A and B are shown apart, each in its own frame.
Chain A
Amino acid sequence: MDYSILLAQAVLNGLVIGAMYMLMAVGFTLVFGIMRVVNFAHGEFYMLGAFTGFFTYVYWEIPFVVCLIIAASTVGILGMLVERTLIQPFRADEMSGMIATLAISVIIQNGAVLLWGPVPRAMPDIVTGTLAIGPFNFPWSRLVVIAAAALIFACFWLFMQRTRLGRAMRAVAQDTETALIQGIRVNYIYPLAFGMSVALAALAGALMGPVFSVSPFVGATPMLKAFVVVILGGLGSVPGAVVGGLMLGMIESFTATAFGSLVSDILQLLLVILILLVRPAGLLGQREA
């Protein structure tokens, strides 16, 4: 294998992982920006999305796009209910809210084990074959993930920029009190934002299902990575999550291809610490008031 192929491979892999990190991190950072809650259950919603995608695609045999919509909406609604009943009581208390999400994560993960068993399931590919451009071979299954992630993020971005609701969310993220004065009903915004955030995680889960596999434990890694990405990009910053996600994916892919996994893992963390020390608010975040 020559270097150009290695390079192309590394870029493609970086984009795939980066796309997943991005979808996870955008939702994670959204909830933090709006509600000041560090959602430790974020990974479990990813897992629920993967399972929903799996069951609808394998048993109902419906088009994958429909599966994605079902995954996003069911998990999104579940997320709204969770926010309303279990997270809202902790609005004034970040620390208790964080531990509440931890408890929710334990409940969801072990509930999934009880319901679906611990054994991983393989999801059939949505598309097969590879795209050959000259000497390069790109599996379609991975290209589809990148394209879908880009499309999903574009929809999300349009929603945040162009709709009333999206603007209201951004207003709450910037300053809750001012938003309240302007007549934005914060109590509706919170569950909506949380639902949307976990729906994005569910989409990531459903998309990655065919690439990896589906089990009750698949949420842990994307969750930790989202955490790192959000620190890198800046807490509460959506553009930061996109840049951070893609960057972390690329760093991971290139350093792992070049130096192996261990160097890659330690390097990633040290880099993020360094960035945090130089720019405490992350790459694109704003200093806390």
Chain B
Amino acid sequence: MRGFLKVALLSTACAALSFPAAAQTLKLGVLATLSGAGTAWGIAMQGAAELAAEDVNSKGGLEVGGKKYKVEVVAYDDHYKAADALTAFNRMVFDDNIKFVVGPLGSAPALALLPVSTENKVITMTMAFTPKALSADYKYSFRPVIPSDVFSDPQIKWVVQKLGAKRIGGLFPNDESGQQVGAANEAAYQAVGAKFVAKEFFERERVDFVPLLTRVLAQNIDAFELNGNAPQTAGLLVKQLRELGFKGPIIRTGGDATADILKVAGKEATENVYVHQPINTDAPAIQEYTRRFEAKYKMPLNAFSPFFYANVQMVFAAMQKAGTVTDSDKVREAMLGLKDFETVLGKVNWIGEAQWKSNQQLDAPFYVALLKGGAAQVVAKCTPKLCE
């Protein structure tokens, strides 16, 4: 109990100190993985919130209903664990009184805290690919990133037709993202007449894939699918595949991992690699964002970051439209009303009604890129229906 009292006293003291400013402050939460192997993703989300906050603060604050609010970002680490995410989220909701949260990152944390966010009307912007993250029951759950069950079909169709590949091999991490992306990928390949002839699952801690790759390559595959592997793992796979003498195309139909693939595998090994590219790296707005992000965080941009940045911009616009920074119901309505909203990603809309009975999935164009000379070159532009 002593510890409990200590927290109570300390937090009361903090609350008392910050009270005079609180009237003018708008708190924006970030709940992401800020320690351990997922940190790069977490910082991509934190950076998006902080850069968006920087934008409005440099103009003296966000003007809503005649008042100016200074945006303060509160970032908590969820250790990529459901229970820790829930504790941190409880703190955001009940102690910091935050109504708008960038996060959570993984599917398990996202699913664990959906009941709390729904009950307390907290708008979350998640990176979780799980189809269960969006539903009519979860009114406040938004997803700015395009999940694999949206991008797999068009992208795989395009790549398979271009390469004429029939026999596909792949290694899948044995976790929720692997199982999720794996299923979506397999269905998409089958739909266009290709087949997974070698499919292996592995534990997350594994670093040496050579035995498994040897097993996969023994099936004479035409192309290798990197699917939802963690960025570093994807890089290692490319490197080890090339070391084993595999010269065929490697395809990444999963979240953005281009920076890590290039870094880990190096220039030569990454020729003939097709990647899912959530953003158009040639667009000036994206290049400007990349410059800002990399200058501030001293690490390569993860392509998911601008999606959160765009979503936070939409939250701000919705607040101004609704004239409130506290009533998340009104902000939600206003945000869903934004059509062809101009963001760093280009014009964006909300979709998803047909698939999840929740129109809270961000819709933006995405791309297929080919790695060449250590850089990604966009070779096709996609919508959920078609790549060309």
Contact = CB atoms under 8 A, between A and B. Distances in A.
Interface of A: 1, 6, 9-10, 13, 16-17, 110, 113, 117-122, 124, 137, 139, 141, 212-213, 215, 217-218, 220-221, 224, 252-254, 256-258, 260-262, 264-265
B265 interface: yes
Given A212-B207, A221-B205, A9 B214 contact: yes
A252 B212 CA distance: 10
B249 interface: no
Interface string B201-231: 1110111101110110110000000000001
B235 interface: yes
A137 B214 CA distance: 13
Given A122-B264, A257-B214, A141 B235 contact: no
Nearest to B218: A1
B281 interface: no
Interface stretch (B37-45, B67-75, B103-111): B37-45
B236 interface: yes
B203 A265 contact: yes
Given A215-B232, A261-B200, A118 B39 contact: yes
Contact of A218 (B40, B207, B214, B215): B207
A256 B215 contact: yes
B260 interface: yes
B296 interface: no
Contacts of A217: 36-37
Interface string B192-205: 00000000111101
Nearest to A258: B215
A221 B263 contact: no
14 contacts: A6-B218, A118-B37, A119-B259, A119-B260, A120-B232, A124-B266, A139-B243, A217-B36, A220-B205, A260-B201, A261-B174, A261-B212, A262-B201, A265-B203
Given A122-B266, A221-B207, 15 more contacts: A9-B214, A110-B35, A118-B39, A119-B260, A120-B235, A120-B260, A122-B264, A212-B207, A212-B208, A221-B205, A252-B211, A253-B210, A261-B203, A262-B174, A262-B203
Nearest to A214: B264
Interface string B248-287: 0000000000011001111000000000000000000000
Contacts of B244: 9
A215 B244 CA distance: 23
B385 interface: no
Contact of B211 (A10, A118, A221, A224): A10
B100 to A, nearest CB: 25
Contact of A121 (B215, B218, B231, B263): B263
Contact of A213 (B203, B214, B264, B299): B264
Contacts of B232: 120, 213, 215
A257 B211 contact: yes
B263 A122 contact: yes
A215 B236 CA distance: 12
A117 B298 contact: yes
A270 to B, nearest CB: 15
Nearest to B259: A119
Given A119-B299, A120-B260, A262-B201, A6 B40 contact: no
B40 A122 contact: no
Lowest 9 A-B CB distances belong to which pairs?
Answer: A118-B39, A261-B202, A256-B211, A257-B211, A120-B232, A122-B264, A1-B218, A221-B205, A213-B264
Nearest to A249: B208
B264 A260 contact: no
Contacts of A262: 174, 201-203
B300 interface: yes
A262 B201 CA distance: 7
A261 B202 CA distance: 5
Contacts of A257: 211-212, 214-215
Contacts of A213: 232, 235-236, 263-264
Given A213-B236, A215-B232, A260 B265 contact: no
Nearest to A17: B208
Contacts of A218: 207
B66 interface: no
A63 B359 CA distance: 59
Contacts of A252: 211
Contacts of A215: 37, 232
